[in-house]
Amino acid sequence: MKILLIGIGIGIVLGIVIYSTLPSADRMNEVKVSVNVYLIEDLTGEFTTSRSEENVRFLFKEVNRIWKPAKISFVPVGIQRVTLDAEIIEFVINGGPIELPNSDTTRVKTFFVRHLYGSNGLAITQLDRTFVADVTTVNDYRATSHEFGHVLGLSHVDPEDRLMAGGKNGEQLTEEEIKIARRLALFQQR
Ligand SMILES: [Zn+2]
């Protein structure tokens, strides 16, 4: 009996020691961020995206792989094609207000467009809006992940291996970035 109790005691202590030496990210609950996805088209074709719903699902799979260390996952809650006038699209890209189907002010809104005047992606943080172009100079899923980083309060950094380096293919997040992003993601979740 005594030996069994000592065994259990050692087991508990060992468990606590192992648990407390894990990186803090491993102990966190997963935070889900709902995203309204809009595949943009316009009658002139200037901004019409060539992306399919399947392609968007692939992008999100890769985005969630990149964001996994932060235990944040982005969930597309609606992938919709929206036809707008080219001037309206420019307005939206520049942060203008717009009523969109299935839109929720608390949700992140992601727009896929043919081009963004040469940029890979764009984030309007105060509106939780991100944009990704069809042709990107970096991996498109990385551009998508990077813009989500801005929406979750992250700023640009220099090291190329980091997700928040501008115009690079880095995917790394630091503990500090994870802390900041999770705080905003939790807020986003409400
Ligand atoms: Zn950026």
Domains of the chain in start order, with CATH, are: 31-189 (3.40.390.10)
What's the gap in Å between 152 CA and the centre of ligand 1? 12
- Average pLDDT estimate for 59-72: 98
* List of residues 6+ apart from 131 with CB closer than 8 A: 93, 110, 111, 112, 113, 116, 121, 122, 123, 147
Token digits for 14? 């060992």
| Among 144, 95, 89, residue whose Cα is nearest residue 113 | 89
Global pTM reads 0.85
What's the gap in Å between 149 CA and the centre of ligand 1? 8
The pLDDT mean for the chain works out to 89
pLDDT surpassing 70 at residue 23: no
Q: Percent of the chain at pLDDT above 70?
A: 85
pLDDT surpassing 60 at residue 22: no
- What's the pLDDT at 25? 52
The whole-angstrom separation of Cα 152 and Cα 157 is: 15
pLDDT surpassing 80 at residue 9: no
What's the gap in Å between 86 CA and the centre of ligand 1? 24
Q: How confident is the model at residue 46 (pLDDT cuts 50, 70, 90)?
A: very high
- What's the pLDDT at 20? 56
What's the gap in Å between 3 CA and the centre of ligand 1? 59
What's the gap in Å between 15 CA and the centre of ligand 1? 41
pLDDT surpassing 70 at residue 3: no
pLDDT surpassing 70 at residue 19: no
Which has more pLDDT, 130 or 21?
Answer: 130
Which has more pLDDT, 58 or 100?
Answer: 58
- What's the pLDDT at 28? 85
- What's the pLDDT at 5? 62
